[in-house]
Amino acid sequence: MELTKKQKKHFRTLAALAYDREISVLLEALAGGFNQWKSGEISCWDLNELVHKYHNGGARELWKKYTDLDAMMLVGLALADEIVEASEVPVSIRETAASQAELARKIRNV
């Protein structure tokens, strides 16, 4: 299926939204580490380890995911994982996005 430029842009915009939401979850957890450090609950070395794990773990995995996969597939994954709501998908790409989400669900259940 050949997408129009506008449809491709919609997919890229939704993929960027999903990335923003996923990285925000990781950053919230990291912010909790900073709060623990500020309150004296953990040491600076513990915080440093949390930053290291964030950078070399979750953040790196997300970066690879969002640079290795195409926007259409990323939107399908985001819908399957409920990172993006179906109501946020423009009508012009809703059917294609839904089929990508279904494919993502099937692959995960194999």
Q: Which amino acid is at 20?
A: D
Over residues 16-36, the mean pLDDT reads 97
pLDDT tops 90 at residue 1: no
Q: What is the pLDDT of residue 40?
A: 98
The model's pTM is 0.90
Domain range for 54 is: 7-108
Q: Is residue 2 part of a domain?
A: no
Residue 88 forms part of a structural domain:
yes
Per-residue model confidence as pLDDT tens digits over 57-95: 999 999 999 999 999 999 999 999 999 999 999 999 999
Q: What sign for the dihedral angle of Cα 30, 31, 32, 35? A: positive
Predicted pLDDT at 109: 86
Establish if 1 belongs to a structural domain. no
Task: Tell me the per-residue pLDDT of 40-53, one tens digit each, with 9 for 90 and over.
Answer: 999 999 999 999 99
Q: What average pLDDT does range 5-30 have in this prediction?
A: 98
Would 95 be classed as within a structural domain? yes
For residue 97, being part of any structural domain is answered with yes
Q: How many domains does the chain have?
A: 1
Evaluate whether residue 70 is within a structural domain: yes
Share of the chain above pLDDT 90, in %: 95
